[in-house]
Amino acid sequence: AQTVTQSQPEMSVQEAETVTLSCTYDTSENNYYLFWYKQPPSRQMILVIRQEAYKQQNATENRFSVNFQKAAKSFSLKISDSQLGDTAMYFCAFMKPGKYIFGTGTRLKVLA
Amino acid sequence: DSGVTQTPKHLITATGQRVTLRCSPRSGDLSVYWYQQSLDQGLQFLIQYYNGEERAKGNILERFSAQQFPDLHSELNLSSLELGDSALYFCASSVGGGPGRNTEAFFGQGTRLTVV
């Protein structure tokens, strides 16, 4: 069975600093997608970034980038130049046909 | 705005009652997913429909059922409600039903269900 593990329940970072959120997953599949979603206090789920497993190049979206290590089944999110608006729950998600599984989330607080 | 519409936004009902949550996916999306998020919890996958047919099932209780209609909107029916069913129920939609281009899911704003 596929599982997604986020081992950091809570993290904090100073404004303008860089923070990395960890995610590991377990699968025997070769073709799948990985995502990071952000859930601010409004509780809206917002897609932050996605990574196709067949692509070796790490995805980047402005201040957000991932470190995808397929062999290690690791998919971490790096947030550069953290902003107060980045304060939210961050969920890692795994997708393959018939499965869209989320981790338990990391609560990130950006400190002024 | 994700383009996914969920109604109602809030719902308060009594134990033992039945409610229906509605989801309209983004234009062109064929898949609809339902998730349950209890307070300060992660997202529990309930069920997925693709083009009108059930595609995958998660931890959905027998008291819960769902369907996707020909116009691709979906409804989640919750019956014999219990206090523990109080949660935020999310609907998400995607173009495909599995890996491929544009398969990420876009979420609605959720329906907050309170059972009293």
Backbone φ and ψ for A84, nearest 5 degrees, come out as -55, -35
- Which residues have a Cβ under 8 Å from the Cβ of B15 and sit 6 or more positions away? B81, B82, B83, B115, B116
- pLDDT digit string (tens) for chain B, length 116 residues: 889 999 999 999 999 999 999 999 999 999 999 999 997 778 899 999 989 999 888 889 999 999 999 999 999 999 999 999 999 999 999 887 755 555 788 999 999 999 99
Note whether B92 contacts A: Cβ–Cβ < 8 A.
yes
Model confidence pLDDT, tens digit, residues A19-69: 999 999 998 888 889 999 999 988 899 999 999 998 889 999 999 999 999
Residue from B31, B32, B33, B37 to probe the interface with A (highest A Cβ count within 10 Å): B37
CA distance B11 to B19: 9
Contact B97 A98 (CB under 8 A): yes
CA distance B28 to A39: 25
